[in-house]
Structure 1
Amino acid sequence: MTSRVYRPDERPDVEVRVDGEWHPGELRMWHHREDGWWANVNWRPKPGMTFVDTVREEDVRLAQVGPRR
């Protein structure tokens, strides 16, 4: 298994797809398993709410717009 952990000051801004919708977030770690790459992310469905989740590679992309909310 291979992984890449980002320090808090290095974490890329990303968008995370949850239930078909893209939400702003932060990439904490990439982890490779037998079934592919997975990302550990923080994501925010709205200001003031943050979730920590693990999602498949195809459900994460680099942020398309401005700074974090």
Structure 2
Amino acid sequence: MKKHIYILLVVFCTLFVTTLNAQHRRVTITNGIGLQGGVTQFDIISDNLITKKGNGWLGGMAATVDLPNKWYNIS
């Protein structure tokens, strides 16, 4: 139960800071969140190493920001 409270606290603080303090009103800033994922296959044939075939996965998150009319999105 405590873990849920900490996760909820982190989400609330992140949303509060992002919407109220981090964005200027003069320029429309567009924020985005991206989720990434993939499946991997591993099979190396080598005389020097002992390996065996395997499968795996990977995942990640990304944050994006778009500042319009800015050179390379530099503010």
TM-score range, shorter chain: under 0.3
**Greater helix fraction, Structure 1 or Structure 2:** 2
Task: Report which of the two structures shows the higher radius of gyration computed on alpha carbons.
Answer: 2
- Taking structure 1 as the reference length, the TM-score comes to 0.26
**Greater strand fraction, Structure 1 or Structure 2:** 1
- Taking structure 2 as the reference length, the TM-score comes to 0.25
